[in-house]
């Protein structure tokens, strides 16, 4: 192999995977990793990774891109701007949403999103299908066909007008996924409790953004998470419980998994690094920090970190949901709008990995290998993307060279998306993605974007081990 010529070799780096850390060189040929080790040959493009940690590109399995919300508001990012931001932050694969609204055919929705991504996406991508309307053959025809085409991830809401689903419909979708192969992701909050709390706050004149956390009490998350775990148990169908924010949610997931429920769960950086008191600002100054579920308390942060360490939570995603701080986004209903008229969400595609690298690698919490597992390998494995999230022969050459010594202070508007602000402005992180490679192509080089819109490929999902249902569901239904 010492005389073999490849397209690219990355030399002298410390290669970190979910399993091990080693000094090794990486050989790349036709966009794939072909060798990891010593004396891997030579290449016309050789990158000296001395002093760098060489890691798989991140897989962000929860991001909203070029998506119309249930309230009819388009978010700030196109596929071009969102994937540009992702790559600048070290993420080389996104899984965003093809969002169905009532009256739409699922097949047409997915086709439209695929066309948008084919035009603009700079990195490789897959989709979750947001299902909100099962009528007109969507459940019986469109959804099974899409699952067969490799769109094997479904997203459901238990909350929000227009997109929330009732219990019976949720069970029907779970059974469809069980029958045809897929994973069901769920935003789990109790709609009635949130409506009730919101009404009481508004009637009391508590309308500013600071009151948003109170309108989404932890009890709403607790109830819905418990219900979705029971539904998974009854049907035997695996679920991914999105954005766990509180200690009680962790315990529900832990208890369900202990009794054999096929439940997976994730959390997000804003629950690990923010607390609700950061929204305690005058008027609507906190609008840019509003998300659902909301940030909680320091005790919840610690519970989430412990859950990541134990393996009760398997993924940290961004939940990138970008809205500008103007009348096209957060303030579409005016700068003095009550909190329930302000779009929820914040940018996170570009900040996810630097924040977690700083905490897990630079500060030593959980370590570099777990950082890779939680941000790249686990989501790739769970969502049936075997060529992503790893550095191994046969995998796509999605590789990031991290400078572990570089410290960066986030600025007020320094991200490469189209949101116009950084919710972590002023925070210092140590460790930075210096060079980003996607399928063997250098797409980011020391802060310069080299990738072109449309180069990203749509990734069909395989049926992963995490998608396989229990052999004997608690519900015995006629065939």
Walking along the chain (479 residues) 10 residues at a time, the average pLDDT comes out as: 78 98 97 95 96 98 93 92 98 98 97 98 98 97 98 97 95 97 98 98 98 98 98 97 98 98 98 98 97 98 98 98 97 97 97 98 98 98 98 98 98 98 98 98 97 98 98 73
DSSP string, 297-328: -HHHHHHHHHHHHHTSS-EE---B----SSTT
Q: Which of 184, 224, 187 is nearest to 466 (CA)?
A: 184
**Cα–Cα dist 304/439, whole Å:** 33
Q: Which of 194, 132, 130 is nearest to 163 (CA)?
A: 132
Cβ–Cβ < 8 Å for 90, 472: no
Q: Which of 39, 48, 65 is nearest to 13 (CA)?
A: 48
Tokens of 354: 């630097």
Q: Which of 31, 24, 32, 26 is nearest to 46 (CA)?
A: 26
pLDDT for position 2: 46
Cβ–Cβ < 8 Å for 60, 94: yes
Beta strands at 8-16 and 21-29: parallel, antiparallel or unpaired: antiparallel
Cβ–Cβ < 8 Å for 330, 323: yes
Find the helix or strand (DSSP H, E) in which 241 lies.
Answer: strand 239-241
Residues 286-334 pLDDT 10s: 999 999 999 999 999 999 999 999 999 999 999 999 999 999 999 999 9
Taking each helix axis from N to C terminus, what angle separates 106-120 and 79-88, rounded to the nearest 10 degrees?
60
Q: Which of 100, 175, 112 is nearest to 138 (CA)?
A: 100
pLDDT for position 478: 64
pLDDT for position 73: 87
pLDDT for position 204: 98
pLDDT for position 472: 82
**Cα–Cα dist 187/36, whole Å:** 39
Residue 382 backbone dihedrals phi, psi, to 5 degrees: -65, -40
Residue 194 backbone dihedrals phi, psi, to 5 degrees: -65, -45
pLDDT for position 1: 41
């Amino acid at each position: 192999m010492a005389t073999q010529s490849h397209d690219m070799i990355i030399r002298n780096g410390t290669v970190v995977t979910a399993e091990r850390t080693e000094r090794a060189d990486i050989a790349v040929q036709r966009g794939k990793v072909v060798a990891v080790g010593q004396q891997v040959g030579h290449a016309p493009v050789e990158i000296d990774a001395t002093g760098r940690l060489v890691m798989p590109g991140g897989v962000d399995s929860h991001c909203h891109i070029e998506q119309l919300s249930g309230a009819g508001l388009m978010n700030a990012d196109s596929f071009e701007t969102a994937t540009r931001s992702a790559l600048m932050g070290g993420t080389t694969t996104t899984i965003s949403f093809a969002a169905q609204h009532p009256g739409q055919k699922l097949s047409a929705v997915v086709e439209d999103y695929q066309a948008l991504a084919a035009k603009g996406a700079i990195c490789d991508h897959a989709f979750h299908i947001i299902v909100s309307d099962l009528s007109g053959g969507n459940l019986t025809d469109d959804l099974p066909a899409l699952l067969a085409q490799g769109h094997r991830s479904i997203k459901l809401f238990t909350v929000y007008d227009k997109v929330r689903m009732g219990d019976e419909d949720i069970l029907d979708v779970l059974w469809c996924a069980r029958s045809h192969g897929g994973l069901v992701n769920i935003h789990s909050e109790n709609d009635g409790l949130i409506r009730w709390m919101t009404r009481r706050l508004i009637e009391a004149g508590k309308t500013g953004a600071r009151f948003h956390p109170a309108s989404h009490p932890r009890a709403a998350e607790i109830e819905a998470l418990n219900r979705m775990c029971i539904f998974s148990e009854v049907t035997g169908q695996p679920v991914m419980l999105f954005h766990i924010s509180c200690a009680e949610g962790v315990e529900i997931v832990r208890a369900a998994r202990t009794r054999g429920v096929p439940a997976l769960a994730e959390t997000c950086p804003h629950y690990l690094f923010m607390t609700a008191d950061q929204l305690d600002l005058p008027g609507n100054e906190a609008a840019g920090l509003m998300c659902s579920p909301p940030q909680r308390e320091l005790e919840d942060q610690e519970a989430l970190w412990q859950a990541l360490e134990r393996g009760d939570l398997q993924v940290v995603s961004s939940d990138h949901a970008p809205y500008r701080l103007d009348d096209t986004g957060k303030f579409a209903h005016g700068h003095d709008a009550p909190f329930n008229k302000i779009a929820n969400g914040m940018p996170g595609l570009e900040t996810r990995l630097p924040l977690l690298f700083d905490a897990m690698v630079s500060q030593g919490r959980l370590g570099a290998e777990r950082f890779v597992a939680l941000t790249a390998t686990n989501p790739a494995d769970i969502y049936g993307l075997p060529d992503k999230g790893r550095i191994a022969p046969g995998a796509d050459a999605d590789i990031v060279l991290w400078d572990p010594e570089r410290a960066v202070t986030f600025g007020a508007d320094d991200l490469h998306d189209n949101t116009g602000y950084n919710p972590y402005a002023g925070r210092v992180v140590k460790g930075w993605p210096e060079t980003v490679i996607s399928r063997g192509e250098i797409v980011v080089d020391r802060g310069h974007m080299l990738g072109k819109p449309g180069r990203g490929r749509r990734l069909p999902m395989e049926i992963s081990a995490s998608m396989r249902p229990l052999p004997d569901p608690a519900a015995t239904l006629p065939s």
